[in-house]
Amino acid sequence: MADTWLPIATIPKTGITLSYSANDSYIWNEKIQETALECSFIKPIEAEISLQLEEEGILVSGSFSAQITLPCSSCLEPALLDVGHIFYDLVEVSEDSLLQEGTYLKETKKGIEIDVAEIVFEEFLMDASISVRCKEDCLGLCPYCGVNKNNESCSCDQNKKDPRLAKLHGLVLEKKP
């Protein structure tokens, strides 16, 4: 596994620009496995990220794009989604920020290191944590029998009984001699 951590001492005064291509898709696949996200990559994340040392911390700017599938919120079939945006952030470097959980920094023998891939991944998660539909007019699942109404039809709609009343209907029928 490639190291996605960059020692900040190696960032030149003029800044550094790193890029991620399709060859790095294993990084994102590993990270996806750590989340509960049911996401598959059609086109892996391609990203460009620039780091610039400033007095207050590390100025991070970049952009990414990817194409993924997420389960349709209506029928649960895979729905295609293009994700990507430009981002801009200041990662504070201080004793406090090193101790905090969930920061992009750690201290090693090489000094303070920054997890560049994690920054890109967090930006990706923002886009991928939305609810999507496979198509605008998705018919969804039948609330009575559960079939995917895009592919199959069922007869539940014809006798539109409220499932909460179904039992009651049954009781009335049973009472008949």
**Interacting residue ranges for Zn ion, rule: CB under 5 A:** 72, 74-75, 134, 138, 142, 144-145, 154, 156
Q: Toward Zn ion, which CB reaches closer, 33 or 155? A: 155
The least CB distance from residue 36 to Zn ion, in Å, is: 20
What radius of gyration, in Å, describes the C-alpha atoms of the chain?
25
Instruction: Kindly state the tokens that stand for 92.
Output: 């504070």
Q: What residue spans of 90-156 are helical by DSSP H?
A: 95-99, 116-128
Instruction: Kindly state the tokens that stand for 50.
Output: 């620039």
Q: Toward Zn ion, which CB reaches closer, 54 or 157? A: 157
Q: What is the DSSP string of 1-41?
A: ----EEEGGGS-TT-EEEEE-GGGHHHHHHHHHHS----EE
User: H or E element: which one contains 32?
Assistant: helix 25-34
Contact 60, 101 (CB under 8 A): no
Q: Toward Zn ion, which CB reaches closer, 8 or 75? A: 75
The least CB distance from residue 126 to Zn ion, in Å, is: 23
Q: Toward Zn ion, which CB reaches closer, 77 or 122? A: 77
Q: Toward Zn ion, which CB reaches closer, 107 or 157? A: 157
The least CB distance from residue 154 to Zn ion, in Å, is: 3
The least CB distance from residue 144 to Zn ion, in Å, is: 4
Tell which phi-psi region holds residue 122, choosing left (phi > 0), alpha (psi between -120 and 50) or beta: alpha
Contacts of 82 (CB under 8 A, 6+ apart): 65, 66, 67
The least CB distance from residue 40 to Zn ion, in Å, is: 16
